[in-house]
Amino acid sequence: MNKVYITTAIPYMNGSPHIGHAMDYVQADVSARYYRLLGDDVKFQVGSDEHGGKVFQKATAQGVTVEAFVDENVAKLKDFIAKLDVSYTDFVRTTNTDHIRRCQEIWRKLSEHIYKDKYEGWYCTGCERFVTDKEYEECNGVCPDHQKSYERLEEENYYFRISDFKDQIREAILADRVLILPDFRKKEILKLLEESPDVSISRPKEQLSWGVPVPGDDNQTMYVWIDALSNYITILGYPERDISDWWPATAQFVGKDILRFHAIIWPAMLLALGLPLPKTIVSHGMILVGGVKMSKSVGNVVDPVDVIERHGADAFRYYFLRHIDTFADSDFTWEKFENAYNNELANDLGNLVQRLATLMSKNDIALPSASAILPKKYQSLMEKFEFSKAFDFVWEEVQAINKRIDEEKPWMLAKNGERIKLEECLIGLARELLKVNLMLGPFLPETNEKIVEIFSGKITAPKTPLFPKN
Ligand code: MSP
């Protein structure tokens, strides 16, 4: 059984979830459910990012303790994820004591690449990162994502030497060893990688106390992103447990706004820890409302619970998985949502099920339970104990597949390098064969088992044919 590890970004616990937060969850969930359908063993992480200046400031502004504040927001997040019908297996909270201890051990393991330095620069608490002077000038000192002025900070912090890993990261990205999707983001990341300075990974405790203490230095708190990114492996028990069953992750789902952390800092951390890089990072676009970014000041924040309550989780999932582009920015409007619901879910799928079920019930036709995919003719002959005729019928199907192979000539497709057509043709034929094989079962049980074995997993043709000729 294949092991599959799917991860999602962990949202800041500075407020209630909004519809933008749903993207990671619905995309990751479709993937997790798909792999389960294939029979894979799936681990699916979700969680909450509870530390950092922005969470602390919000709690203080509301006059509540930060612990009570994050507890309340975590409860809202869990409720939201449950309402979306997300089949996660593990929930990680960054305030969990095991997570904190493991983060400190990760820090120690990174120490060869960490140094202390003075820094003066512009910081955005919304992004929780320092921006370069160039970025500061380009947006006139106001963060375009958060509409907040950058703060000037002068601090002595610890730095992580990203430059130690730039070459390895570039090579891994170029060779798709860590596959960044969509492809057009890859170029952006490669450019950013070249420009990336070493990253400050701590803040003085007097500036920021709400976070993981830096081991061995009472005056410093870990930068929230180091703590947050570590969640993907602390939840697996790293470093005290061997995580090779699950790591590297099959797919990490994140929004485009935080791809830089996942495609530069995170790979650098993993390389420093001697761990493999994730197989894929899937980065979705932003959800806009009425064409603009959601924001409290614009007053266009859509409460996801309202959307779910309108027509249920599947209507939400339908809209966000079909009408919100998988990779590009897309718009949510109630009008579009209602149209999709009425014209597609209700008219197409809802109607189809309704009509078919009505016709069948009116005419008193039921589906045979266990044998739903067996042809009627076969069943009728078998139930009449007409074995030779039933076998004739099965044999006609065997011959028909042989004829299809002769006509479709898959060997020519192989020869011409038409890979997609070849796969379609052979998979189609094998599916037909497996259907026929079901019917063969009662007749030739040993052969039936052999055919199932041959066509499961990686296929190897048997050394001797099933029925060697005399
Ligand atoms: N805490 C960090 C993630 C740490 S992961 C180690 C963070 N939190 S967030 O709350 O700002 O965002 C959480 C996820 O929601 C991210 O994947 C982000 O891209 C996504 N979205 C937040 N707003 C969004 C939209 N309006 N549209 C689509 N996704 C958006 O970043």
Q: What pLDDT, in 10s, does the model give residues 264-279?
A: 999 999 999 999 999 9
Mean pLDDT by 10 residues, the chain (470 residues): 95 94 92 82 98 94 97 97 95 98 98 93 86 90 87 91 97 96 95 93 93 97 97 98 98 96 98 98 93 78 90 88 89 92 80 64 57 77 75 86 88 89 83 83 78 75 72
Selection from 348, 361, 76, 54 nearest residue 228 by Cα: 54
Say if CB 227 and CB 94 are below 8 A apart: yes
Q: What is the mean pLDDT of the chain?
A: 89
Stretch (H or E) spanning 7: strand 3-8
Q: What is the pLDDT of residue 362?
A: 67
User: Domain with 377 in it: what CATH number?
Assistant: 1.10.730.10
Q: Which residue has the tokens 């020869």?
A: 415
Tell me how many domains the chain contains: 1
Q: What pLDDT, in 10s, does the model give residues 62-112?
A: 999 999 999 999 999 999 999 999 999 999 999 999 999 999 999 999 999
Q: What pLDDT, in 10s, does the model give residues 194-241?
A: 999 999 999 999 989 999 999 999 999 999 999 999 999 999 999 999
433 part of a folded domain: yes
Q: What is the pLDDT of residue 470?
A: 55
Q: What is the pLDDT of residue 402?
A: 86
Pairing, β 90-93 against β 3-8: unpaired
369 part of a folded domain: yes
Stretch (H or E) spanning 116: strand 114-124
Say if CB 8 and CB 20 are below 8 A apart: no
209 part of a folded domain: no
388 part of a folded domain: yes
- CA atoms within a 13 Å half-sphere pointing along the CA-CB vector of 221: 15
CA distance 237 to 232: 10
CA distance 312 to 327: 24
Residue type, 231: N
Atom 15 of ligand 1: nearest residue by CA position = 21
Catalytic residue positions? 18, 21, 124, 127, 143, 146, 293, 296
Q: What is the pLDDT of residue 312?
A: 85
Residues contacting ligand 1 via CB (< 6 Å)? 9-12, 20-21, 23-24, 49, 228-229, 231, 254-255, 257-258, 286-287, 294
Atom 13 of ligand 1: nearest residue by CA position = 11
63 part of a folded domain: no
Q: Tell me the best of 49, 284, 292 to mutate to test the pocket of ligand 1, counting ligand atoms within 8 Å of each CB and taking the most.
A: 49
Q: What is the pLDDT of residue 52?
A: 94
β-strand partners of 160? 114, 199
CA distance 42 to 250: 10
75 part of a folded domain: no
> How far is ligand 1, taken at its centre, from the CA of residue 286, in Å?
9
Say if CB 45 and CB 247 are below 8 A apart: no
Atom 6 of ligand 1: nearest residue by CA position = 229
Give the range of the structural domain holding residue 435, as residue numbers without chain letter. Answer: 334-454
β-strand partners of 118? 156
> Can you tell me whether residue 368 is helix, strand or coil?
coil
Q: What is the pLDDT of residue 371?
A: 43
13 part of a folded domain: no
Q: What is the pLDDT of residue 165?
A: 98
313 part of a folded domain: no
Atom 10 of ligand 1: nearest residue by CA position = 11
